[in-house]
Amino acid sequence: MAELPLLVARALWLMLPAYIANMGATIVGGGPPIDGGREWSDGRRILGDGKTWRGLLLAPAVAVVFTWILRALGTVDPLSGWGLSGFGPGPWWVVLSYSLGFGALAGDATVSFVKRRRGFERGEKWLGPDQLDFVLGAWTVALLVSLVLHVGGLTASNWFLGAFTGPILLTLLVLTPGLHLVVNYIGWRIGVKEVPW
Q: Which residues of this protein are in contact with Mg ion, per CB under 5 A?
A: 108
Closest distance to ligand CTP from the beta carbon of 170 (Å): 24
Smallest separation (angstroms) from Mg ion to the CB of 166: 27
29 binds, among ligand CTP, Mg ion, none (CB under 5 to 8 A by kind): ligand CTP
35 vs 108 by CB, closer to Mg ion? 108
- State the amino acid at position 196 in one-letter form: P
CB neighbours of residue 1 within 10 Å: 11
- The reply to whether 24 sits near ligand CTP by the rule CB under 6 A is no
Amino acid of residue 31: G
Helix (H, G, I), strand (E, B) or coil at 101: helix
| Residue type for position 81 | G
Residue 7 and residue 168: Cα distance in Å, rounded? 7
What track of x and - describes contact with ligand CTP for positions 124 through 153 (by CB under 6 A)?
A: x-----------------------------
Please tell me whether residue 122 binds ligand CTP under the rule CB under 6 A. Answer: yes
Q: Which stretch binds ligand CTP (CB under 6 A): 11-19, 63-71, 83-91, 120-128?
A: 120-128
Q: Which is nearer to ligand CTP, 44 or 150 (CB)?
A: 44
Least distance between ligand CTP and beta carbon 21 (Å):
9
Q: Which of these ranges, 13-21, 22-30, 67-75, 170-178, lies near ligand CTP under the rule CB under 6 A?
A: 22-30
Q: Which of 109, 145, 123, 119 is nearest to 34 (CA)?
A: 109
Question: Are residues 25 and 105 in contact, defined by beta-carbon separation less than 8 angstroms?
Answer: yes
Contact pick of 11, 15, 20, 29 for ligand CTP (by CB under 6 A): 29
Give the Cα separation of 184 and 182 in Å (integer). 6
Residues in 52-111 at the binding interface with ligand CTP, rule: CB under 6 A = 52, 54-56, 105, 108-109
Residues that bind ligand CTP (CB under 6 A): 25-26, 29-30, 48, 50-52, 54-56, 105, 108-109, 112, 115, 122-124
